[in-house]
Amino acid sequence: MTREELMKIVSERVEKCTACPLWEKRTNVVVGEGSLFAPIMFVGEGPGEEEDKTGRPFVGKAGQLLTKILESVQLRREDVYICNVVKCRPPENRVPTAEEQKACGHFLYAQIMIVDPVYIVPLGSTALSFFLGQNVSITEYRGKEIEWKGGKILFPMFHPSYLLRNPSKEKGSPKDLTWQDIKKVRMFYDSCKRR
Ligand code: SF4
C-alpha cells in the first residue's frame, strides 16, 4: 500500500472515531496535512476553533504564525507534515486530558509510522509530555535534541500560541529562542537527504 492509501485509512478511522468524549462537539476532525514524505513532523496539542471549522491543522492565529515561522527559513507547510496529539477540538481550547490523549494517541503513532519523519517537533508542553510519557515543561526542553523511539529525534519548540502571548523579540525571549530553533530545523531539513 502507498503512504497515501495508508493515510486515507487513518483519516477514515479518525472520522468515525468516538473513542473519547471530544467527538461529541466536533464540527470536523483534524487529521493533519503536509508531505507524507516529510523528514520533519510538527505536532501540536489539538485543534482550535478555526481548525475545527475547516478540518485543517494550524490555520488559526497560532497556525498563521507557525506558517510565518516556517517561511522565515524558506520552508513551506507542504515541505513538512503538521498534525496534533488529539484530532478533535477540546471545548474552550482546554488541554486534552490524559485519557483523551491516550485514546487518540494511536492515530498519531500511525501517522508517524506512515510519514516516517527523522525529526519530530513537539510544539509546547502538552505535545512534548505526550512523547516523553511524563509531564514536562517546554521551557526546560525546547531547542534540545532528544532521542526517541525508532531512532527518531524529538526537537521541542514553543507552541506558536505561547509566542502570541509573549510578543517581545528581545534577546532570550521566547520569540528570539524560536528564531534560533527554526534555523536549526532548517539545518535538519537540509541534512535529510534520504528522500
Ligand atoms: S479526539 Fe481522537 S480519540 Fe477522541 S473522538 Fe476524536 S479522534 Fe477519537
The helix-helix angle for 98-115 and 125-132 (nearest 10°) equals 80
Indicate if ligand 1 lies below 6 Å from the C-beta of 20.
yes
Interval between CA 70 and ligand 1 midpoint (Å): 28
Cβ neighbour number for residue 183 with a 10 Å cutoff? 11
* pLDDT (mean) for 148-165: 97
What is the residue whose three cell numbers read 521541542? 156
Cα–Cα distance, 110 to 74 (Å, whole number): 28
- Given a contact cutoff of 8 angstroms between Cβ atoms, the answer to whether 33 and 55 are in contact is no
pLDDT value of residue 188: 97
Domain housing 83: 3-191
Measured between alpha carbons, how far is 2 from 89 in angstroms, rounded to an integer? 29
Percent of the chain with pLDDT over 90: 97
Q: 99 Cβ partners below 8 Å, 6+ apart?
A: 20
Neighbours of 94 (CB within 10 A): 11
Q: Which three cell numbers stand for residue 25?
A: 462537539
Pick the closest to residue 182 from 164, 156, 151, 147 (CA basis): 156
DSSP label at 90? P
- For residue 91, report the distance from its CA to the centre of ligand 1, in Å: 13
pLDDT band with cut points at 50, 70 and 90 for residue 193: low
| Structure confidence by residue, pLDDT tens digits, 3-27 | 999 999 999 999 999 999 999 999 9
Question: In total, how many domains does the chain have?
Answer: 1
The ligand 1 atom at the shortest distance from the C-alpha of residue 26 is 6
Q: Is the pLDDT of residue 37 over 70?
A: yes
Asked if residue 195 has pLDDT above 60, the reply is no
Q: Say if ligand 1 is within 6 A of residue 87 CB.
A: yes
Q: What distance in Å separates the CA atoms of residue 80 and residue 93, rounded to the nearest whole number?
A: 24
The whole-number pLDDT of residue 98 equals 97
CATH code at position 61? 3.40.470.10
